[in-house]
Structure 1
Amino acid sequence: MTHTSLVNQHELQEFLHQNPQWLVQDGKLHREYQFASFVQAFGFMTQVAQLAEAMNHHPDWSNSYNRVKVDLITHTTGGITRLDVELARKMEVLAGSDSL
């Protein structure tokens, strides 16, 4: 199985159980982060952008002041893959204690 294989239901449910802030919305992994300030939110996005570029896997996201909305899906497969779950896990580490 490759990183771009669709994630199976068991793997997806395990990830969602371990990371309850994430949910499946419109067939995508979705999460909304909130930070103490715009600078912290933008700093998080900068770190994720560098990581995403290195992974060659880019989130669909938006920022409004101290909030970052994220959707993850692998467009080439039309669904949530192991790559999406891997990026989501790494985003959780990067957000760490900065996220409210």
Structure 2
Amino acid sequence: MKPFSEIEIKEQLKEFADWTYNENAIHTSLEFDDFKDAFSVMTRIAFEAEKLSHHPDWTNVYSTLQISLSTHDAGGVTNKDFELAKIIDALVS
């Protein structure tokens, strides 16, 4: 799987309100009411990521979840990342 060029990534990101591109990955930061809500969403994302066999790099501090997506074996951002980003956006909307 060939990664997208930076131009292709930025074009696709126009469909994603809260995602940015830098350091060869797409990123978002999500705020929740508390740790329980953040962890609940992480669990839901984990099940979807497992279905896709595509797993995010993420960190969680209390009510903030930061997510980075990149297809490591392709060396950059691919359709897999945008597919998971779309699922994540649907889970948190």
- TM-score normalised by the chain length of structure 1: 0.84
* C-alpha contact (below 8 Å) 2:10/2:21 kept by paired residues: no
**In structure 2, which of residues 10, 13, 16 is the aligned counterpart of residue 16 of structure 1?**
13
Give the gaps of 5 or more residues in structure 2. none
Deviates more, 1:54-63 or 1:15-24: 15-24
How big is each residue's C-alpha offset from its partner over 1:18-72, in whole Å with a ceiling of 9 and x where there is no partner?
2131001211101111111111100100000000011100000010000000010
Matches within 5 A, 1:1-100: 4-8=1-5, 9-10=7-8, 12-96=9-93
Q: Secondary structure at the match of 2:33?
A: coil
Letter in structure 2 aligned against 1:53:
E
How far apart, in 2, do the equivalents of 1:76 and 1:67 lie? Answer: 28
What percent identity do the matched residue pairs reach? 34
How far apart, in 2, do the equivalents of 1:7 and 1:46 lie? Answer: 28
* C-alpha contact (below 8 Å) 1:5/1:82 kept by paired residues: no
The count of aligned residue pairs is 92
Q: Secondary structure at the match of 1:58?
A: coil
Give the gaps of 5 or more residues in structure 1. none
How far apart, in 2, do the equivalents of 1:67 and 1:48 lie? Answer: 15
